Every structure is written in C-alpha cells, then in structure tokens.
C-alpha cells in the first residue's frame, strides 16, 4: 500500500474509532451521573437543576428526593411563600412530635420565597402527584392571595410542575426522571461565574430539611405594615381572591390531608399601635370569610395569634417573618399542634 493511502486509511480508522468512543462515552457518563445522584455520594456534587430558574428550589427538591429514597416516604410537606421557608424547621417539629407521641414522622419544608396562593396550589399538586405526602401544611398570609408584583409564576409554569400536574412534555419527563439531564442543566447554569456566586449565596443557609432561617432583626416600619386597612376590608371583593382559596381546597385528596396555617405576624404593642386599623380589618374583614370557607369544606385552620403574641420583638425578622430564634419557638409550637392532631398521620 502506498504511504499516502496508508496514512489516509489510518486517519479514517482513527477518526471512526474516536467517534465510536465518543458515542459510547455519552451513555456511560449519563449512567454514571444517574447512579451517583441516587447514592449518598450525590450530596457532594452540585445540585442537579430542574431548569426552573430557582437555585433554592433545585436544592430543596433534590434534598427531598434524597430523603424519600432514604426513608421510603414523606409524611408531611410545609408549603407556601417565604413565611413557610423561614419560619418552620421540620427537624424541630419532628423532634417535638416524637417526644410527645413516641412516633416518628418524616417532614420537609419546601416553601419557596415570593410564591402566591395560586403558585403554591399548582406546585403542591405536582408534589402530591410525585411524592404522595400524608399531609400538606399551607401557611398563608393576606399577601399570598392578593395581586403581587413579585411572584413565582416562573415556577408554576416550569416543565417539572406542568409535567407532574398532567401536562406532559419531553423536557418535563427528563427533569422528572433523568438526573443526567438535570446535571447537564446545572452544568450549563454554572458555566457563568455570577450564577455560581448567586447559587452559593441563595442556598448556603439551607438545612437538610429545607428550612432557611432568617438572621437578625429588621424593625417593622409603621408606614409599611403587613397590609393596609383598605386592602384588607376589600380583599374578598375580588372573586379571584376567594377563587385562590377554593382552588387550594382541591389539594385535599383521598390520600392527602390539607391543613391551612395562619402565617404568624408580629403582634407586639408597638406594631399593633402603629397600624391599629389594619389589625382591626384583619380580624373583622379578612379572617372570617377565610375561616368560613375552610370550615365548610372540613379543612383545619390553625390560628397562630396566641403563639405570635408570646414571641418577643427580638425574635422577629420583620412584620411577617421570624428570625432563627423565633422560628425555633414557632416550630416547637407547631410540633405540639401536630402531636395533638396525630390523626392526621393515621
């Protein structure tokens, strides 16, 4: 064989073998990523992403999936906006429940900041379909059912949520079933240095149970209460607001119990005195229709006014968020409520 032809043949064979090796590498890497993500070693890797533009959700969802693989079940999920995210420590709730009942429950906090009631309902439907919790605890504030510029519509419309509420798609199937694909999405995000900084900042304080405590104290501004008296007096005039609550009631299914929890609010004399009219409207105009709708549908509604009064101002982050000290007290109280209502887990 002439040297030129021999070289050409060698080059052709080399390229062909290289292509075959590359094609074999892809499924091997994918299988390795799947196995690693589903093992305890996966905790040491960057969190796989579902492509919903939320590093907090990515971290929480993967931790919840890992917990369920370990424990074979999840008994309760805490859902809602930042008031759920920063106020409820499932580890404390579980501890109190175990001490008072002698039984063990497995819970997780998957509250996401800026979620509205509508966002929460869509997200919770996906969680129920995917993980089958015994109880969904939805912590709600007036802000959650009112129009709000900052919300989590991007999450509600994500492929993961839509696929798991009955709107299937290829991308939805992949983020629901393939860690290899989710790692690819993470890799694509983290190629950008600013995203790596943002991810670390947003997820650094997350606990293994999805609790994200707030630190410090931001004194409430009397000119910026949790809501105005005018807004609260007219909140149910808009049919869309009650429709949000009615939609939430559908989360109670044959296998899942729904419990609504009144979001804790700073009720110190300084705060109430600064906006007495708003508090009056909250008690007389906002709460009664909400409580009546829940009672008519046999949905438990747990008020938090008494425990909120017991939490000192130094344990509040602002009007409607507790700091880590306040969250400890509130989570202990919540564990006691679960203990007194152990029928929820039967």
Which strands sit side by side in the sheet containing 107-109, from one edge to the other? 107-109, 76-80, 135-140, 257-262, 301-302
Q: 142 and 278 in contact (C-beta within 8 Å)?
A: no
User: pLDDT for 49-102, tens place per residue?
Assistant: 999 989 999 999 999 999 999 999 999 999 999 999 999 999 999 999 999 999
pLDDT tens figures, 271-311: 555 578 888 899 999 999 999 999 999 999 999 999 999 99
Averaged pLDDT, 99-113: 97
Q: Which residues face 301 on adjacent strands?
A: 260
Q: Tens digit of pLDDT for each residue in 117-140?
A: 999 999 999 999 999 999 999 999
Taking phi over 0 as left and psi of -120 to 50 as alpha, with beta for the rest, 267 belongs to alpha
Q: Give CA–CA dist 59/43, Å, rounded.
A: 10
For 153-157, 174-178, 260-264, which range has the lowest pLDDT when averaged over its residues? 153-157
pLDDT at 36 over 70: no
How would CATH label the architecture of 38-345? 3-Layer(aba) Sandwich (3.40)
Q: How far apart are CA 219 and CA 88, in angstroms?
A: 21
Are 79 and 137 a contacting pair, CB within 8 Å? yes
Tokens of 159: 């492929």
Residue 38 in this model has a pLDDT that exceeds 70 = no
CA-based nearest residue to 271, from 201, 319, 327? 319
Rounded to an integer, what distance in angstroms lies between the CA atom of residue 293 and that of residue 38? 42
User: In this structure, what token pair is assigned to residue 276?
Assistant: 């007495």
For 217-256, write each residue's pLDDT tens digit.
876 655 555 677 888 899 999 999 999 999 999 999 878 9
62's enclosing H/E stretch is helix 55-71
- Map tokens 């992949």 to a residue: 174
pLDDT above 50 (res 10): no
Q: What is the spatial distance between Cα 110 and Cα 221, in angstroms, rounded to a whole number?
A: 29
Return the DSSP state at 219. Answer: P
Domain residues of the chain, as ranges?
Answer: 38-345
Predicted TM-score (pTM) of this structure: 0.87
Provide the pLDDT for residue 96. 98
pLDDT tens per residue across span 185-199: 998 988 999 999 999
């Amino acid at each position: 064989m002439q040297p030129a032809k021999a070289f050409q043949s060698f080059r052709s064979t080399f390229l062909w073998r290289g292509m075959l090796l590359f094609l074999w590498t892809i499924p091997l890497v994918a299988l390795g990523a799947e196995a690693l993500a589903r093992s305890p070693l996966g905790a040491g890797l960057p969190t796989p992403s579902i492509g919903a533009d939320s590093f907090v959700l990515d971290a929480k969802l993967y931790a919840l999936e890992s917990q369920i693989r370990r424990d074979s079940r999840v008994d309760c999920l805490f859902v809602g906006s930042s008031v759920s995210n920063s106020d409820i420590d499932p580890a404390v709730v579980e501890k109190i429940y175990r001490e008072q009942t002698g039984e063990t429950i497995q819970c997780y906090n998957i509250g996401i900041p800026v979620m509205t009631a509508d966002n929460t309902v869509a997200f919770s439907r996906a969680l129920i379909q995917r993980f089958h919790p015994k109880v969904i605890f939805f912590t709600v504030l007036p802000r959650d059912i009112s129009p709000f510029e900052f919300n989590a519509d991007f999450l509600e419309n994500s492929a993961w949520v839509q696929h798991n509420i009955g709107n299937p798609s290829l991308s939805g199937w992949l983020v629901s079933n393939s860690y290899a694909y989710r790692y690819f999405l993470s890799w694509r995000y983290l190629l950008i240095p600013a995203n790596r900084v943002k991810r670390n900042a947003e997820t650094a304080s997350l606990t293994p149970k999805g609790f994200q405590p707030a630190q410090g104290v931001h004194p409430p501004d009397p000119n910026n209460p949790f809501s105005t008296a005018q807004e609260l007096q007219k909140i149910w005039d808009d049919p869309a607001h009650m429709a949000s609550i009615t939609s939430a009631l559908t989360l109670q299914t044959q296998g899942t119990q729904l419990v609504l929890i009144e979001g804790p609010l700073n009720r110190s004399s300084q705060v109430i005195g600064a906006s007495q009219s708003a508090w009056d409207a909250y008690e007389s105009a906002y709460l009664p229709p909400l409580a009546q709708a829940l009672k008519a549908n046999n949905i438990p509604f747990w008020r938090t006014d008494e425990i909120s009064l017991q939490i000192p101002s130094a344990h509040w982050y602002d009007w409607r968020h507790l700091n880590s000290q306040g969250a400890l007290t509130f989570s202990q109280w919540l564990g006691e409520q679960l203990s007194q209502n152990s029928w929820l887990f039967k």
